[in-house]
Amino acid sequence: MGWESRVEFKGLTAMIMDLQGRAKKTMPLTSKMTKGLNDATYTLYVQNLSGSVPSTAAQPLPVGVRSGTLRSNAKRRMINQYSFMIENETFYAGFIEEGTRHLVPRRPLGNAVDQIQNKVPGEMGATMTKIWKT
């Protein structure tokens, strides 16, 4: 049994409506912003999984590539114009993300989310990050 890592962004509608004020004006902007956030987060996540040397506790990112399985199983999906999901179903992805008693957390997905949150205007309180058990 392993852990998969996954992030879902939900509630971008509320954030955009706070920024813009009216629903009719925000529909195209919401869809465009959601896709942009999906692309940017996914790109940062893959970069965090693309190290040429093994990562260490002192230098946790990028995670070193041995077989490329972790990087090749990084997936993104648009749920609708307001939300998306980035996941990695590799059985050890959650161990890399959260760590174990023998492994320091590397947080490749968490780091990507943190970087994106710093670039998004408004409140991202509706963002949900969670590690699911497979």
Q: What is the pTM of this model?
A: 0.76
**Ramachandran area for residue 129 (φ above 0: left; ψ -120 to 50: alpha; else beta):** beta
Q: What is the residue whose two structure tokens read 């991202």?
A: 124
> Rounded mean pLDDT of 115-130?
59
For residue 66, what pLDDT is reported?
A: 86
Write out pLDDT tens, residues 57-84: 888 889 988 888 999 999 998 887 777 8
pLDDT at 86 over 70: yes
Three-state SS string over the chain comes to: CCEEEEEEECCHHHHHHHHHCCHHHHHHHHHHHHHHHHHHHHHHHHHHCCECCCCCCCCCCCCECCCCHHHHCEEEEEEECCEEEEEECCCCHHHHHHCCCCCCCCCHHHHHHHHHHHHCCCCCCCEEEEEEEC
